[in-house]
Amino acid sequence: MATLWLLSAFLCVFAQGMDAPDVKSSPVDELGVRKHAWMVGGGFSNVLDTYLSPYIYKGGEIRLMRETQRLTRMFWNEGRRTNDDSKGRRTKDENERTAPRVSFQTLLDLHGSYLENRAGNVNGWAGGVRYGLGWLYRVLPEKNVGSVTDAWTSSQFQRFSLEVGPMLSGYLGTVYNERNGNNPAQAKLDLMLDLSAACSYRFRLFHHPFALRYQLTVPFAGVAFSPNYGQSYYEAFTLGNYDHNVVFANVVNMPSMRHLLTLDVPLSRRSRTALRVGYVGELMQSTFNHIKYHSYSHCLMIGFTQSFRKI
């Protein structure tokens, strides 16, 4: 863990020199800005899969996450020109444009955990990767576009914003139990339509800007793979004995949620780079084909974010 903190500190010091001048921008300019974030962290995990064992397994977990965000032209009113008034002056609304409202988000999340039972005499592993594509509509959009470098350099930025929208996510993972002979592992595979909501709050403390953001994502409907209770993978894939292995997943048989809480601290007032600390809480559970499964993980994260301007 000490090595992790030293690595993060080195990256932040290295990136501190990547400042850019504060240049005024229009909504069109903001469409060219892409925000990238990388985080690494660790925590603990609680896993139950009755296909492998009726007991709960607990252990440590490591997690890597990458996030990108950019504004899009979807549902964007670019404004329109109006005629001059009787004295030849331009009217107040000419060239006036609203800020873009829809942002496109990608999330890549990798995790792995080493588990053991309550007695400490049986070990297991769990891990997987999730990739999501989201479109978030700004219900409360930014009122002021200060500069292309700035999610925070403007002195009149909107303190609170709210976004909601759909997300497409896919997950591929596995749970392994070293005691089982015939069926030592269980595959996890799903493709879901999620509902996501995010709120952010920008504030200043000791004359330094901060950005706090919380995002909640709930799987709504999709498809998932699951063997039937007592069915082996040999029967399903070698003998071809299909037994309702593709199931319809929804909020009833898969009540789950994912939490992402982050705090961004820019390295300087005009810096495009910020230190990010955060918390990831993933509460996944399902009941498919009489097989109960849950995976509860809580991780503390650290990393950095950087804004890039597309040329």
What domains appear along the chain, each with residue ranges and CATH number? 2-16+33-76+97-309 (2.40.128.100)
* pLDDT tens column, 2-57: 444 444 544 444 444 444 444 444 555 567 688 999 999 999 999 999 999 999 99
- Check the CA dihedral 174-131-280-265 and report its sign: positive
Residue 100 CB neighbour total at 10 angstroms: 23
The tens digit of pLDDT for each residue in 237-271 reads 888 888 889 999 999 999 999 999 999 998 876 67
Instruction: Supply the pLDDT for residue 148.
Output: 35
pTM of the model: 0.81
CA gyration radius for the chain?
A: 24
Q: What is the model's pLDDT at position 98? A: 66
Give the residue ranges of the chain where pLDDT is below 70: 1-30, 32, 77-98, 141-158, 269-270, 310-311
CB–CB of 220/251 below 8 Å? yes
Cα gap 107→97, rounded to integer Å: 30
Q: Could you tell me if 190 and 221 are in contact, meaning their C-beta atoms sit under 8 angstroms apart?
A: no
Q: Name the β-bridge partners of 147.
A: 24
The per-residue pLDDT for 145 is 41
Which H helix or E strand runs over 234?
Answer: none
Structure confidence at residue 260 (pLDDT): 98
CA nearest to 266, candidates 107, 186, 146 = 146
The reported pLDDT for the residue numbered 130 is 98
Reported as type and span, the H/E element at residue 28 is: helix 27-30
In this predicted structure, what is the pLDDT of residue 97?
Answer: 55
For residue 142, the model assigns a pLDDT of 53
pLDDT of residue 300: 98
- pLDDT computed for residue 44 by the predictor: 97
Pick left, alpha or beta for residue 184 (phi over 0 → left; psi -120 to 50 → alpha; otherwise beta). Answer: alpha
> How confident is the model at residue 174, as a pLDDT?
96
